[in-house]
Amino acid sequence: MSVVRRKTRKVMIGDRQHGFVGIGGDAPVALQTMTSTYTYDIDATVKQINALHHAGADLVRVAVPDKKDTLALKEILNQVRVPLIADVHFHFERALESIEAGIHKIRLNPGNLKDRPKVEKVIAACRERGIPIRVGANEGGIVERGNKAQRAEEQAALEQDYQGMMTSIMVEKLEEYLRIFADNDFYDVVLSAKSVDPEIVLAAYRECSKKFDFPLHLGVTHAGPPETGRIRSVVALGALLADGIGDTIRISYAADPVYEVEDGKEMLQVLGLRLRSEPELIACPTCGRIEIDLIAMMAEVRRRMGEIDVPVKIAVMGCVVNGPGEAEGSDVAVFAGKHKGVIYVQGEQVATVKEDEILDALFAEVRKFADKVKRGEAKLKNAKVNIKPPDPIGELGSGWDKIKKEGLSLPVMRG
C-alpha cells in the first residue's frame, strides 16, 4: 500500500559515532523502544541496547531517575552505535547531566514543565547542543493534581464524556507546553499524546495532526503483555500510520522490549513504511484439507529463516486446492499434499519431494534464489531488495555467532 505521510517539521537525532536518525519531514517512520535494565548497570544496559539495535530499533530510550544513571551514560554511549534518549521524570538535573554526558534526545515528563525556570535551563542546554526534546500528554498523569478547583472541574467534565474530554485536555496541555518552547525560540520538539484506550489515542493524534506541525511520537501507553497489547497497539497505531499520521513509534509491552521492536518493525513493513531486510513467511490457515503437520512445519521454517539475509517471501501451504492462489506473489512456495510436497520458485514448479525431504528441499531453493538476488540475477517479486549490511558494531565482532555466544536476546526470525 502507498501511505501519504503528513507534512511535519524534521528533527535530527544522533551524531557521527552513533548515526543520525530523522523524525518528521521526509524521514522514514523511526522505530524506537526502551530498555528494561537499570541504567547504572552498564554491562546489562549495553547488552540490551545492542540487542535491540540488532533487532531493528532506530532509537533506544533509557531511564535516568537517579544521578548514578546519568553517571553511567558516557560509558554506555561509548559502547553502542545507536542514538540514545534519556527519559527524565521529576528531577530536571538529570536532564542537564544527560546532556553533559552526550545524550542525543531528552524526554521530559509533563510534571517537569510546571517549574518554568528549570525547564528553561534544559531548553537552553538542548539548544546549545542541538538536542531535540519530546514532551507528551499521557492519560495517566494529565489531569491537574496541584490545583484542587481545576482538578474537580476536569474530573466532572470527564464523568460526562471521558473520551472526548480527555482528548481535549491532552491537546490543550500540549498547546500550553508548546508556548514555553516558543517563548524560548526552541522548535526541535516531538509531541506525544498517549492513552491506554485506542479510541482516545486515535482522537488525540488526529487532533494533534490538525493543530500542530511538529513530528508526532505514536504510542499506546501501558498496553499490557504482548498477547493482548499487540492488538491494542496495532488497532490504534496501524490506523494512524495508514492515514499518514506519525513520525516515530514505540509499542509498549510488559515484556522483553525486543518484542516491541519485532512487532513495531512488522507493522511498519506491512504498511510499506519500512523495507524488509529478512525473509517474510506466509502460510495458509489450517483446515480439514491439510494432510501434514502444517504448524510444526511452519515453526521449523521460521527457525531456519534466521539463516537467510535476503527478504525472500516464503509460502508454506498445506494443500494443493487453495494453496497456489493464496501463495500468489511469493518467491518460493511449497504446496504439501499426502506424503509429498511440490515446490515452486516465482510461479515455476521446480521439484516434487517426499514429505520428509520438504524442509531441506525448500531451503535449498530459498538459498539458491537468495544468492541469485544478491548477484543481480533475480528480483524479488513484491519488494525492493534490501540486503542487511554487515554487523556495524565492531565490538560484536563476527555478528550472529558472537551475539549468541554472549547470550544476547534476539528473535529467531525478525521480519
For residue range 125-159, list pLDDT tens digits in order.
999 999 999 998 887 666 666 677 777 877 787 88
The answer to whether residue 246 is domain-embedded is: yes
Cβ-proximal residues to 59 (8 Å cutoff; 6+ apart), any chain: 13, 21, 30, 31, 32, 82, 83, 84, 85, 105, 248
Of the candidates 217, 209, 135, 216, which has an alpha carbon nearest to the alpha carbon of residue 179? Answer: 135
Which residues are paired to 63 by β-bridges?
A: 87
For residue 108, is it within any domain? yes
Same domain flag for 261 and 344: no
Together in a domain, 223 and 349:
no
Which residue is listed with cell 530499533? 57
- The burial of 265, by beta-carbon neighbours within 10 Å (0-12 exposed, 13-18 middle, 19 or more buried), is given as buried
CATH number at residue 250: 3.20.20.20
Q: Are residues 241 and 387 in the same domain?
A: no
> For the chain, how long is the longest CA-to-CA vector?
76
Q: How many domains does the chain have?
A: 2
**Confidence at residue 163, expressed as pLDDT on a 0 to 100 scale:** 86
Residue 401 pLDDT grade (very low, low, confident, very high; cuts 50, 70, 90)? very low
Same domain, 263 and 380: no
Q: Which helix (H) or strand (E) holds 43?
A: helix 42-55
Both 87 and 65 in one domain: the answer is yes
In a domain, 414, yes or no: no
pLDDT at 55 over 90: yes
pLDDT category at 107 given cuts 50, 70, 90 is very high
Q: Are residues 241 and 306 in the same domain?
A: no
**What is each CA distance from 146 to 138, 156, 315, in whole angstroms?**
17, 16, 58
Strands 19-24 and 10-15: antiparallel
Task: Tell whether 264 and 374 lie within a shared domain.
Answer: no
Task: Report if residue 409 sits inside a domain.
Answer: no
Mean pLDDT value across residues 81-95: 93
Answer whether residue 404 shows pLDDT above 60. Answer: no
Q: Tell me the three cell numbers of residue 238.
A: 496501524
CA atoms within 13 A on the CB side of 232: 23
The sign one gets for the Cα dihedral 353, 354, 358, 361 is negative
Same domain, 395 and 248: no
Say how far apart CA 50 and CA 35 lie, in whole Å: 10
Model confidence pLDDT, tens digit, residues 194-203? 999 999 999 9
Let me know whether 221 and 311 are in one domain.
no
Cell numbers describing residue 357: 525431504
Looking at 236, 270, 304, the residue that finishes a domain is: 270
Is position 166 within any domain? yes
Taking only the tens place, the pLDDT of each residue in 156-187 is 878 888 888 889 889 998 999 999 999 999 99
> pLDDT band at residue 111, thresholds of 50, 70 and 90?
low
b vs e for 394-414, b when ≥16 Cβ sit within 10 Å of the residue's Cβ? eebeeeeeebeeeebebbebb
End position of a domain, from candidates 214, 244, 270: 270
User: What is the mean predicted confidence (pLDDT) over 58-62?
Assistant: 98
Which grid cell is 354? 517426499
Supply the DSSP symbol for 284: P
In a domain, 131, yes or no: yes
- CATH code at 329? 3.30.413.10
Query: 344: alpha, beta or left, given left = phi > 0 and alpha = psi -120 to 50?
Result: beta
Instruction: Indicate the pairing of strand 19-24 with strand 133-136.
Output: unpaired
Whether residue 20 is found in the same domain as residue 91? yes
Are 193 and 70 in a shared domain?
yes
Give pLDDT tens digits for 248-269: 999 999 999 999 999 999 999 9
Same domain, 102 and 189: yes
Q: What is the pTM of this model?
A: 0.85
Residue 3 lies in a domain: no
- Bridge partners of 350, per DSSP, are none
Which of 235, 270, 305 is where one domain is finished?
Answer: 270
Residue 2 lies in a domain: no
Per the structure, the complete domain to which residue 344 belongs is given by 280-402
